[in-house]
Structure formats: structure tokens, C-alpha cells
A and B are shown apart, each in its own frame.
Chain A
């Protein structure tokens, strides 16, 4: 019974005083409904804004950069610990946190600005050399003064990598400008040590290395937080003197050629002399050996013939002589036999000996 009594109290409101439904009540209800809906939307939007606000703190660090989070302006972490590597990271949105990105792995480059003749951007792009003026205009035409007080044009390009990003980014307003000024200083300083011909011709590598060494020394001293990777240097004589410098180069080339020719001749003469000397010595050695062997052979023959000779020397001599004459006369081109005259005297023979007539290739005799 009590249940039955309580039930209507829980589910049915107490009977309100009956009041006729008017248009104003309906409007109030609609307004209340609309406000409720709007409030729900506002709550949803606010929740969404909170989510967007928090999600806006997500950021990505690329493969060639590092990032530092500044919380209320101060780095989160100390020195290297403050550096965030590649990947997805989160920070509080601004103004609590601020993300500073620092390019690190890519090679950066700067070029000197003081040593090269004036070029318009169009001339530089097209690779055109401008017509030289009579003199160089200070502040417009760049150049350096060499150790022997000559003027030349030179320019350098430095390639470097940032290895201490915090120093590079937070210690310098413009670190790249400082690197560029250091490069200018290095070019000037090195040119002040080198003579013009060394820079242009004889010690090009030495000049380049000295520029690089000077820049490296300066950036280390200034704690710029970079490492020099490479340095290239161009150099040329003043455009006003290009022709005369070319003539010097040509004369030096001719000098080198004359020396090369002379050395070639020297080699030829030396080799020829060496060859002839070797030939002379070989011939002498051969002749000497032959002579010794010949004499030895004669001695052997002598020993072999001595026994027969001692038997009858006269007959032996006649025999040998006749045999030799037989062999010799067989080989002779011309043989003449002169019989004795009637009174037993030898026949007189007179010979007129002329010089050998000249060959077809020789010069004709004088008339």
C-alpha cells in the first residue's frame, strides 16, 4: 500500500495549479530549449578548442635539423640535452613554449664579398666578364693587395656545417654574416702573406689551404659552433692587365719549352755517348779476348808443328809457303805472271795507279 502510495510521488509531479497554455509560455520554452542547445554547442566548441590548442603543440623535426624548445624564453635542457633530433615532438603552445629550428646537417655556404671585380647580377648569371675601367673604384670593385704590393682579384667560397647549434643560433645575431666576414678577413690576411705570382701560378694550393686555415682558426676562436668542410678560391689578374699577364704566361711557356727541348737534346747526346762508349768498350773487350785466344791458338799450332819443323826446317817452310800461296792465289782477283827476259833478268813492269773513280752519289770533280 505504501508502495502504491509512494509511486505516484516519484513519477508524477504534484499536481500543478492548472493554468491555461499561453503563447508566451511556449516562447519561453522554445527559448530555453534553444539556450540549452546553444550551451551544448558552446561546450563542444570549447572542448574542441582545448583539443586543438593542445594538439597545436605537436611539431615535427626534419632529418637535417635540430630543434630547441624555449619555455618562457629559456631552453628546456642544458647545452646538447636541449637539442631535439628528427621525429615528432610536443611542446606547450605559444606563449608558454616556442620552438626554434636550427638547420644542422646540410652543408651551408658563404662567399667572400671583398676581392672580386664588380659584376651586375645579369653578368654574373651569364658568366660575362665586364669591360675594365682605367682604375678600380673603391667600394665598388673588390680586390686584395698582395705581399709584393700588387693588386689581384680573388674570391672564396666556404662550405661549413653547424655542429654546435646552440652557440650558432643563440650567441650571434647573424652567425652567417660573421662567417662571411671571417672569410673576407682570411682572404685579405692570406693575400698579404703571398706574392702575386705565388697566388696566381706557383702556390695556388698553398694559398687556398692558408685561407681555409685562417678561417678555421677565426671561427674556432669566436666559438661560432661550425666546422669548415671545404674552401674554394678563385683568383685572377686585374682585368686591366690581363693581356700583359697572358704574355708573361706565354713567355714562361716558351721558356719551359726551350728548356724541355734542351733537356731532350741533353738526353739524346748523353744516351748516344753512353751507347758509343759501351760499344767502344765492348769492341775492346772483344778484341782483347780474340787477341788472347788468337795468340793462344797460334801457340797451340806452334807446339803442334814444332816436331815436324825440327825434322827438316827448310822443307817444312817450303811446304807451308807453297800451300799458303796456293790458297792465297785462289782467292786473288787478278794474277799476273812476268816471265824472265832472254838474258835472265826479270821483266820490268810499270804501273800507273789512279785514284778510284768517284761513285754516282759523290760530287763531280772540279774541272
Chain B
């Protein structure tokens, strides 16, 4: 199964991606976490830590540095340039922008290409997309089995979420997450902007706020906090089928 996570910057995409990845892995699934943001942060939410996240090599940069002749297959790239995260999650950073004039972003290895070419082969791929709508617009049917759209109760985040739902729903299954919900008024605001859809509620959670502050994985800080529990339940629902033996 391939899961892509979309939404406005700061809506909680990376927290959702990292926590769902860890929960799936703890339930016995083989998980590949693909960081498709040119400002890669998924390592932090997976529990790798900010310092190690900063040292992770982007596949694109790895291939371009090219000490080996060429890594021809996506699986080879995952093997060669990926890193191990807790609970056996394999983390792959697609691309990072670290210099002026970093070269054409369409050429070379792109996040879209990695997502497209990764076979799931019994594995669950969860992809943290770049903030905004670019990758959702380029998503072709079949590139992801489900898109999780993360919505917050602010006017700007709702506008991005609303458009992401409209774009993605033409191509694949969409699940809307109402994130950082404090009360009924927050939920009503999200429901009004994105009507006629089931909303998975992720409550505002002090554990997640503390994990964000300190650069930790929420699931390591408190796996039983309400926000983390909502994401664990989401992971169970996404997994659906029983765990392969």
C-alpha cells in the first residue's frame, strides 16, 4: 500500500506521517517512509533526532555525487541511501535543497518518480509530501492508494486542504484528518470548509506539542496520549488487512 500525506505547511503532515509509520511498524508491517519535502523533517517525527535528520543524504544528491557508477534501480537507491529509523522503519529522503542554484528540480531523481516507481511488494510506503499542492497536482492515479489530507482550523490551512481534497479525489481515495481540534467550533469550521466527508479527528495534544518543541517522536514521548492514539487508530484502519505472517 502507498499512502501520501498532503496539506499546508505546519498543518501536521510530518507528525502524521512519522507517527503512522511507527504505528504500522509496531503492528508488524514492513514500512518505508519517504520524505518528499525539499526541506526534509520526517526523521524528526520518526524519532531519528534533529541532528541525525540533518545528516541524512538526499537520494538525488547521493546519485549526483556519484562515487558509484550509477544506482540504476529505485530499490537499490532505497538500500544505498536510506537510513534506519526506530521500530524497523526504513527512511528515505528524496531531495534536499541546500545551496543556491541547486539545479533543475525536474531532472535527476524526483520525489514524484520515487513514489511512482516504488513497488509496494507487501511493504507499506508512506510519503510525506512537500507543503502545498505541487505534488498532489502531479500525482497520477496509482501513484498512491490513499491520500491523507491534513486540515487545521485556520482559514489558510482549510483553503489548502479544500483544494488538496478536490484535486486528489479525482485520482485516488482521500481521507481527511481534522488536526489540532480543540473543541466543537474547530471541528465545525473544518466540516464547513470540507463538507460531506468523514473527518478523522486528531485532538489538540500537549504530548505532540512537547515532542515538536523538543524534536522527539510523539510516539516515543507518550504512545497513549489522545493525539497519538488517534493516529495509531488511523494506522490500524489503513492497514485493514491482517499483518502478513
Q: Do A and B bind each other?
A: no
